Amino acid sequence: RPNSLPKPKPSSDQPLPFGKIYTDHFLTIRWTSLGGWEVPQIEPFRNLSLHPASLAFNHGQACFEGMKAFLGCDGRVRLFRPDLNMQRFEQSAMRLGFPKFDGNQLLECLKELLRVDKDWVPAAPGSC
């Protein structure tokens, strides 16, 4: 669902420091022990709500894969080697004991997120 309060986008000459600028949406996919993976949702960016006794605070595990999106010279958004990024992400998740997921399906979810937030992909000179 679209974000009713979109944030201003950085100017094309502004640097994009890692972990400092966030788009208007994010992808969430809940998992439960009874139902497994639920239907993916693209939601407006917001703070997360966690129970104070959440194990994430005491025994948190995280898996991160820094996939890159860029604007091609033809104006289309592209991902840099998404298949290899997804393979590494699946391997990392398996090593951490996370529930198995279909990397191809997750990649399609990420592509949909990029379609929603495509205006956040830098278009500065030298981007393509």
Q: What is the mean pLDDT of residues 37-48?
A: 92
Copy the structure tokens of residue 8: 């201003």
Task: Extract the tokens encoding 111.
Answer: 């592509």
Q: What is the pLDDT of residue 16?
A: 76
Average pLDDT for 27-41: 92
Which pLDDT band, with edges at 50, 70 and 90, does 1 fall under?
low
Q: Is 114 helix (H, G, I), strand (E, B) or coil?
A: helix
pLDDT at 61 over 80: no
Strands (E), 1-128: 25-28, 31-32, 36-37, 41-44, 69-71, 77-79
pLDDT for residue 58: 65
